Amino acid sequence: MTWLKPERERIIPFSLPLASTESLSLKKSRKKNLIGRREQVDFPDLGVFNITAKIDTGAYTSALHCHDIREENGVLYFKVLDPGHPEHGSTVHHTLSYTQKDIKNSFGENERRYIIVTRLKMGKRTLRLTLSLTNRGTMRYPVLIGRRFLKNRYIVDVAGLNLAPLSIQPESIFIPAANRNSIL
């Protein structure tokens, strides 16, 4: 069998016409902070400070490890973290402002969770965060930050840890007991 030698192809450079910027509706871009795959965060409304959070772009929602979660007469009661955790406080938090939602857990199973809104401080920024309350006792990190919170705010460097720019003065470390019991 003989192989025919193909003729040499002639390459002609070309360029595509660029779209007119007048026809595009461009959003005003805001500065996105660089963060690592794990960050130290504070929950000032809950009296929890300097806790390690896992930044998980694969998870849609954010979650906080809680226990003794109960609903009585339209009020949601919960305790943050386990008694064995160094940041654990025996404070029972309560809120009137909450919802419930079916969320897929890390095993792909749907579970009904309570959802609250609280403030999260990561680096210099303090923002509102929607959290699901769940038992993360078997997980390595008690806080999981999902892409719903991260979107349009942060860029995640998966090779880095604790990259959020730190503020010079931390927010108040002392939270009066009257303010700790209620997050909203």
pTM of the predicted model over 0.75? no
Q: How many CB atoms lie within 10 A of CB 177?
A: 8
**What proportion of the chain, given as a percentage, has pLDDT over 90?**
52
Kindly report, residue by residue over 34-53, the tens digit of the pLDDT: 999 999 999 999 988 999 99
CATH number of 33-167: 2.40.70.10
Closest by Cα among 136, 30, 144 to 80: 136
* Lowest-confidence segment of 7-16, 25-34, 123-132 by average pLDDT: 7-16
CB 142 within 8 A of CB 122: no
Q: How far is CA 124 from the centre of its chain?
A: 15
